[in-house]
Structure 1
Amino acid sequence: MDRLGAFYDRFILAHPALVLIAFGLLLAATALGFSQFRLDASAESLVLENDRSLEQYRQVNRTFTTSDDFLVVTYTPEQELFTEQGLARLAALRDELAALEAVGSTNSILNVPLLHSPDLTLDTVNSEIKTIDGDQVPPETARDALLANPMYPNLLISKDAGTTAIQVNLPTPDKYFELLNQRDQLREKVNNGDASAEDRRELEQVSQAFIRYTEQLGEERDQTIGQVRDILDNYRDQATIHLGGVPMIVADMIRFIENDLSTFGLGVLAFLLLTLAVIFRQWRWVLVPLLCCSFTVWLMVGFLGWAQWPVTVISSNFISLLLIMTLSLTIHLIVRYREFQHDEPQAEPRDILRRTLLAMIKPCFYMAITTIVAFGSLTFSGIRPVIDFGWMMTAGLSVAFLITFLIFPALLRLLPPPVDQRITSNRIPFTDYFARFTERFGGTVLVGSGVLAVLCVIGLNRLTVENSFIDYFKADTEIHQGMITIDDRLGGTTPLDVVITDEPAPEDAGGDPFASDCDPFVEDCGDEEYRDTWYTYQKMQQLEQVHEYLDSLPETGKVLSIDTTLALLAQVNGGEPLDALELAFVPAAVPDNLKDILLTPYIAEDADKARFSIRILETLPSLRRQELLDEIRTHLTEELGYEDDRVLLAGMTVMYNNMLQSLFDSQIKTIGVVFGAILLMFLLLFRSVKLALVGLAPNLIAAGSVLGLMGWLGIPLDMMTITVAAITVGIAVDDTIHYIHRFKTEFARDGDYLATMHRCHQSIGQAMFFTSLTIIIGFSILALSNFIPTIYFGLFTGFAMFMALLGALTLLPRLIILTRPFGSRA
């Protein structure tokens, strides 16, 4: 402490102006990174670390020339759709959307082939195809043709023909995929240890180019979505219109993140200012903490910009957290300063400040370290955005601690607060009540804590991770309303692809399908014979079985596959299923302009793969993604006889499910690491196993109460609430450290445990109360978000802090009195 005191005397307290000038230069330097600060809600930001599902998803899209880069406009007119006026208004809307620069094409009931002509056969399909756009098809005839087509109902048109959809395709430029592939190849080289210095430099350049190009595309897409919304607003007077699709969801999630960063960051700051003004009633005690909080956020935003480290949905609350954590540190210093000021009102402000810093730096250091450990434990989660969040908060807390013990004293040295005669009146009786209650009802405290622990364990056993993506958004948001409409009327929202790979042909197989007595179009000729086509009778029968099974599942909406195409061609064929010979000539019979609709999305003969495109009903209450995926794989492998390595499940459903299912495992890892590390820190700090275990107890109750309450209320873990327990422990342990540290100091005065408890409640208990109050109020602001996980994050963190304060003011002192870790009473 002597060296630390000398450091403060020689540098910080002696030259506060120079310290602030040097710090101002640092702020100016980091401000240059503001322009590079960015937000990310892409698929990459929501996947597991090293999750192969993202690459599989992209590979499926490349193989079958499909993409989820499209907007869906649901259109439900107030009047009948299938009239001349109704279709004309729909066409006008479609034409305005198609005219946008970024729109590659549109699909709707207006331009899809109706295939309704009585003269239509497999031989005349190329000449008899009609569309509403290109032919004078009566509206009623068009309606019947669309509903009779197995491909369109529950996809482009609802079964009652009251709602239709316009698919607005937003093609991603080839340059994006070129940069992505180049970056991934270089990353793989670096990860394998095969990269040269030049490769590493190239990786840095390509990564920067990819980030810049992604930001450019994001800005252009946001602009396009805004233009689409402007167009839709002109048609809402006569129809109910909703906008959906992955690009729109990504854009809106980024907008929610921006709102959470700005609105709630400012909202939390305003509440904190109000709290400081009410508690301390001196402008210096408002201004100085405000500057420290602002400096912490300033430095971190600049650093994240310099490091090209994007903020995701999960880490969007880091500004609010940094504000609250920095304020927590400064409040402890303020309360201690005022205590010294009250005890010795004639002392010099510099001496009081020096004593405050030396008295508080040790508990605050251990407080910061344990909180850093709590956030650092998130890096064990295996979920990319959770890992990033952990590292961000680790860096942020380090900055907060340094600012509190370097900039706070420099500011206070230049703005010394006068002695406040109201300090004694600021002592709130609230903490005294807790001390008296703990003294009189110590047994009740222990029994109540035990009952609460049992309830927490029961609640933990009820905790799940199955939740619906639609539940992330409030009911009045367009994402929520659009998902309901698409689920209920247009075949489901979340995409799932089931891809089956054909058995490989043997190396010595001949190319002539008629070289043996076996007819390859009717029967399976075995490994020795022809396997070069999917269009055999037996293979199509097998794919039909898969299609019928997938379509029978209650969780699936619209299912599209080659079986859908064959059912359509059977209609064209007079209602008769295609025979083996007709099947063989399907690729030749389908016109070239229809192959991209009827064939290539479902059969990739070059890759020997068949695809089933499924839409999952996201609003189904009984949806259990992991059970569904396991059931599909089991049925295909055990019931239908496909080898496991020939079945691939891909798409957004799989990636989102992978993240959800990792939550349980990561929660166990993070909580285990947190408590293990905190126990170690307690042992180092207090040098007593008994005291370390005593200090751990209220933190276990606080973390368990959050997860237990979620289990009792049936609220599943999601990508944000997973962090609450670890964060709770990290913040709640602050109270434990400060209380035990003060208890040890006060106990040395008279060796009386009960008297020491009352003094601690009147001193450090006040700081704990003020800190917890500001945290609870600050996090309550997040309840105003449109993003439901953010709301849960705010409410549950506030609840956890209340439980932590309750435990620190009742259970902790009761256990100290019971176990007497500081020795017998003097």
Structure 2
Amino acid sequence: MVLLIAFLPRNELNDVFVNYFDESFDFRRATDFTTENLTGIYDIHYSLSAGESDGINSPEFLQVVAEFAEWYRQQPNVIHVSSITDIFKRLNKNLHGDDPNYYRLPEQRDLAAQYLLLYEMSLPYGLDINNQINVDKSATRMTVILETMSSNEMLALDERAQQWLKDNGLPSMQEGHGASTSIMFSYIGSRNIRSMLFGATVALVLISIILIVALRSLKFGLISLIPNLTPTAMAFGLWGMLVGEVGLGLSVVAGLTIGIVVDDTIHYISKYLYASREKGLDPQNAVRYAFRRVGMALWITSVTLIAGFLILSLSHFHINSTMGIMVAVTIAFALIADFLFLPTLLMRIK
């Protein structure tokens, strides 16, 4: 138990949403092909404000946007960055005979405004650049296309971008938070994982309080905490040893197995206390009595549940398969703890 629980801190709360599906899914194969040969499906969008109407034509604003885009291009896992500054640079070069030396931002505000007007008028009917700038031209959108990334990597990248804007951006850019479905699900996954683990811990504590009342003993109520907590801790310790990444599917395991683990402990301790209080048996014989009354039932229910949840491990959906494996492992550890650790603990305490 100590050995497995020692590996518990090696787990990292993280998720890679594309990896929810294995290669048997068309979606996964198409996504992998797209990422390897075309572009990424992960993205982050920034609304960069100039703080005034027609402010995107300001050379100072354009320079900061260009530097921000260049900073992003140097980051790992970035495939492409789309910015309005690239249009300005290309127009400047085109209007100077395609001279590569003029692939730079215009230095005068009125010149930038004329470039933008010329570009908008030259677009085909029905097309505009409102997907990149707002109506009063006070803000522009910058889009970053990314490779397949984990939730932690994406949130860390956006955090570095926020820090860059605070250190180098204009005052009007300080609120330029990244936004996209990828960012949204990264936050959802991160918060959900932590909330589920915290909720499971609170539930275990509340259940133990109820057991103190039901068993009419503070000591045995607190003792029940140990066999209730250790199976889950051991299972996640084993996971930390072998894998080390806890995603959305595994976050529900602790809450899912509480009822099963607590159920085994209640059956065993209640029979032990009955033998000790009502029949006046000594600890060793009370343990034997508890085994005779509930031992076979615990084996049958545990083996049945383990077999049932292991079927989920055959799923091609990662959340289902990992959840099934971990629940089965947790129930197995709970059975081992109730048969080998709990009896010894009860006899030792008495």
TM-score (normalised: structure 2) = 0.89
* Partner-residue secondary structure (3-state), 1:601: coil
1:179 maps to none
Contact 2:231–2:337 under 8 Å retained in 1: yes
**1:196-595 equivalence runs, <5 A:** 449=1, 451-452=2-3, 455-456=4-5, 458-504=6-52, 532-573=54-95, 574-575=98-99, 576-577=102-103, 579=106, 580=108, 581-590=110-119, 591=121, 593-594=123-124
Q: Is the Cα contact below 8 Å between 1:459 and 1:711 reproduced in 2?
A: yes
Contact kept in structure 2, 1:746 and 1:756, CA below 8 Å: yes
Match of 2:130 in 1: 600
The amino acid that maps onto 1:817 is M
Residue 629 of structure 1: CA displacement?
1.2
Measured in 1, the distance between the counterparts of 2:210 and 2:33 equals 53
Per-residue Cα deviation, 1:535-585 (whole angstroms, up to 9, x for no partner): 232222221111111122112212112123234434533243463344211
Between the aligned partners of 1:567 and 1:478, the Cα distance in structure 2 is 40
Q: Is the 8 A contact 1:565 1:599 kept in 2?
A: no
* Ranges of 4+ aligned residues in structure 1 off by more than 6 Å: 595-598
- Alpha-carbon distance, 1:778 to partner: 0.6
CA RMSD of the aligned region, Å?
2.4
Structure 2 unaligned runs (5+)?
none
Separation in structure 1 between the aligned mates of residue 344 and residue 20 of structure 2, nearest angstrom: 41
SS at match of 1:498: strand
Counterpart Cα distance in 2 of 1:480 and 1:628: 24
Structure 1: stretches of 5+ with no match in the other structure: 1-448, 505-530, 821-826
1:494 is displaced (CA, Å) by 1.2
* Residue of structure 2 equivalent to 1:680: 209
Instruction: For residue 497 of structure 1, give the secondary structure of its aligned residue in structure 2.
Output: strand
Distance 2:124 2:67 in 1: 25
Q: CA deviation at 1:597?
A: 6.2
Contact 1:502-1:646 within 8 A present in 2 as well: no
User: 1:706–1:725: 8 Å Cα contact kept in structure 2?
Assistant: no
Aligned residues of 2:45 and 2:144 also touching (Cα < 8 A): yes
Taking only the aligned residue pairs, the percentage that are identical comes to: 22
Q: Does 1:702 align with 2:231?
A: yes
Distance 2:173 2:210 in 1: 48
Return the index of the structure with the highest Cα Rg: 1
Partner of 1:775: 305
Q: Matches of 2:219 and 2:57 in 1, distance apart?
A: 74
State the 1:726 CA deviation: 2.0
Letter of the 2:20 partner, please give it: Y
Partners of 2:27 and 2:171 lie apart in 1 by 38
2: CA distance, partners of 1:546 / 1:623: 21
Structure 2: distance between partners of 1:644 and 1:815: 61
Return the offset for 1:667.
Answer: 4.3
Q: CA deviation at 1:594?
A: 4.7
Cα distance in 2 for residues equivalent to 1:488 and 1:776:
39
> Is residue 2:186 matched to residue 1:689?
no
Letter in 2 for 1:563: T
Alignment deviations for residues 319-377 of structure 1 (CA, whole Å, 9 cap, x no partner): xxxxxxxxxxxxxxxxxxxxxxxxxxxxxxxxxxxxxxxxxxxxxxxxxxxxxxxxxxx
TM-superposed deviation, 1:754: 1.9
Superposition deviation, residue 800 in structure 1: 0.2
- SS of 2:13's partner is coil
Residue aligning to 1:300: none
Q: What amino acid maps onto 2:232 in structure 1?
A: A
Secondary structure (helix, strand or coil) at the match of 1:646 reads coil
Letter in 2 for 1:459: F
Counterpart amino acid of residue 638 in structure 1? D
Confirm or deny: 8 A CA contact 2:48 2:140 kept in the other structure: yes
1:754 matched to 2:276? The reply is no
Cα distance change, pair 643–665 in 1 and its aligned pair in 2 (3 A): farther
Please give the alpha-carbon distance, in whole angstroms, between the structure 2 residues aligned to 1:603 and 1:665: 37
Residue 7 of structure 2 aligns to a residue whose secondary structure is helix
8 Å CA contact 1:663–1:718 kept in 2: the answer is no
User: Structure 1: how far apart are the matches of 2:174 and 2:239?
Assistant: 38
How many residue pairs get matched? 341
**Mapped partners of 1:644, 1:802: distance in 2:** 54
SS at match of 2:177: strand
Q: Tell me which amino acid in the other structure corresponds to 1:545.
A: E
1:802 to 332, 335, 349: 332
Q: Is 1:714 the equivalent of 2:243?
A: yes
In structure 2, distance between residues paired with 1:595 and 1:466:
46
Instruction: Assess if the C-alpha contact under 8 Å between 2:275 and 2:290 holds in 1.
Output: yes
- What's the counterpart of residue 609 of structure 1? 139
Is 1:740 the counterpart of 2:269? The answer is yes
Aligned partner of 1:784 in structure 2 is 314
The amino acid across from 1:559 in the alignment is V
Change (3 A) 1:537 1:645: closer
Contact 1:562–1:598 under 8 Å retained in 2: no
Which amino acid counterpart does residue 465 of structure 1 have in structure 2?
L
Task: Compute the displacement of 1:818 (Å).
Answer: 1.4
Q: Deviation string for 1:31-88 (max 9, x for gaps)?
A: xxxxxxxxxxxxxxxxxxxxxxxxxxxxxxxxxxxxxxxxxxxxxxxxxxxxxxxxxx
Q: Deviations over 1:141-164 (max 9, x none)?
A: xxxxxxxxxxxxxxxxxxxxxxxx
Partner SS for 2:56:
coil
- Once residues 728 and 596 of structure 1 are traced to their aligned partners in structure 2, the CA distance between those partners, rounded to angstroms, is 57
Change (3 A) 1:688 1:534: same
Question: Could you say if the C-alpha distance between residues 621 and 675 of structure 1 is closer, same or farther in structure 2, counting changes exceeding 3 Å?
Answer: closer
Task: State how far apart, in whole Å, the 1-side matches of 2:255 and 2:150 are.
Answer: 29
- TM-superposed CA distance for 1:692, in Å, is 0.9
The alpha-carbon distance between structure 1 residues 755 and 726, as it changes in their structure 2 partners (threshold 3 A), is same
When normalised by structure 1's length, the TM-score is 0.39
Say if 1:603 and 1:609, in contact at 8 Å, map to a contact too: yes
Conservation of the 8 A alpha-carbon contact between 2:197 and 2:251: no
**Which letter maps to 1:809?**
F
